[in-house]
Amino acid sequence: MRVFSASSRHFSDLAVMNAHRFCLPFRTPAAARARAIASALKRLAGRALPGQCALCGNLSQELLCEACDAQYWNEPRLRCATCALPLVASLMRREREDVRVHCAACLASPPAFNDTLALADYRAPLDTLAVELKFRARLAAGETFARHLHAAFEDSDLPVPDVIVPVPLSRARLVARGYNQAWAIARPLARRMSVRGDASIVARVRHTSAQSRLDQQTRRRNVASAFAISGDVRGKHVGVVDDVMTSGATLDALARTLKLSGARRVTNFVALRTPKD
């Protein structure tokens, strides 16, 4: 299957750069964020050509060549069962793999969601896929994330959600971008899990800007009223999908809103997780 059509590359580099200027991507400190995107774009520049692997540039009819697909996923990493934050190697030696471990932040102040499944850390080279998906409309990256999230879910002992929803974009951002990158992952993930995927249950009623420099309480207040629920989630286990999880404040606010509306359980499915900086 040819996954990289000419139509998926209709954004010029200039348009991409402008998109960056107006749609700040991730809630990391501004300078670090700019560096990360510049470096990911640099890696993309010579590589993301039709018929080439998005990561190494070797010939490939798939988004990733077989070697990259085998190499970069499923890196053994002990993560907090609640928020998927990578935990230190010393813990990994102490704890058995089947024991749920938690980071200090989740123990001190548990978030509203119950579990988070993350594929890998948000860093090179996989961050390239998130940038491709978010800024170059390369929706095949969403399919790739969904395939690996489904495999990770099958390997876990997490219960199957009743419904899967994407973290919504504000209406203005959705219009500007033309698609929701989280839905590009959530839809194929729901299909693979044979679970209903629904992008209309949650709406983003207020856009929240970068908040990495705010403390946790301020972050929570900042996103507290960002979401509105329009479907019936009473008694349901809701799976929430996002491309990148940074502080977790947005997912916490969304889970809080879902639970206030009666959701029984919330599990996050995120492609990439930012390690603590």
Q: Considering the complex, state which of residue 53 and residue 251 has its C-beta at the smaller distance from Zn ion.
A: 53
Q: Of 162, 184, 185, 149, nearest to 238 (Cα)?
A: 162
* Dihedral pair phi/psi, residue 164, rounded to 5°: -120, 130
CB of 99 to Zn ion, least distance (A): 15
Q: Considering the complex, state which of residue 58 and residue 212 has its C-beta at the smaller distance from Zn ion.
A: 58
Pair of tokens at residue 86: 């990578």
Identity (one letter) of the amino acid at 250? Answer: T
Q: Which residues within the stretch 26-55 sit at the binding site for Zn ion (CB under 5 A)?
A: 53, 55
- Tell me the three state secondary structure of residue 271: strand
Q: How many residues are there in the chain?
A: 277
Element (H, E) at 127: helix 127-135
Separation of alpha carbons 240 and 246, rounded Å: 15
CB of 28 to Zn ion, least distance (A): 18
Q: Considering the complex, state which of residue 53 and residue 189 has its C-beta at the smaller distance from Zn ion.
A: 53
Does residue 245 touch Zn ion according to CB under 5 A? no
CB of 85 to Zn ion, least distance (A): 5
CB of 245 to Zn ion, least distance (A): 11
Q: Which residues within the stretch 90-149 sit at the binding site for Zn ion (CB under 5 A)?
A: 103, 106
Q: Select the span of 33-41, 75-83, 162-170, 254-262 touching Zn ion (CB under 5 A).
A: 75-83
Pair of tokens at residue 169: 């974009």
Q: Select the span of 19-27, 83-91, 124-132, 232-240 touching Zn ion (CB under 5 A).
A: 83-91
Q: Which residues within the stretch 163-182 sit at the binding site for Zn ion (CB under 5 A)?
A: none
Does residue 83 touch Zn ion according to CB under 5 A? yes
Q: DSSP state, 119?
A: E
Separation of alpha carbons 61 and 152, rounded Å: 24
Q: Select the span of 11-19, 58-66, 90-98, 180-188 touching Zn ion (CB under 5 A).
A: 58-66
Answer whether the bond into residue 125 is a cis peptide, omega within 30°: yes
CB of 104 to Zn ion, least distance (A): 8
Separation of alpha carbons 19 and 15, rounded Å: 6
Q: Considering the complex, state which of residue 122 and residue 183 has its C-beta at the smaller distance from Zn ion.
A: 122
Separation of alpha carbons 263 and 255, rounded Å: 8
Say how many residues touch Zn ion, by CB under 5 A. 12
Tokens 């348009």 belong to 15
Does residue 63 touch Zn ion according to CB under 5 A? no
> Which residues contact Zn ion by CB under 5 A?
53, 55-56, 58, 65, 68, 80, 82-83, 85, 103, 106
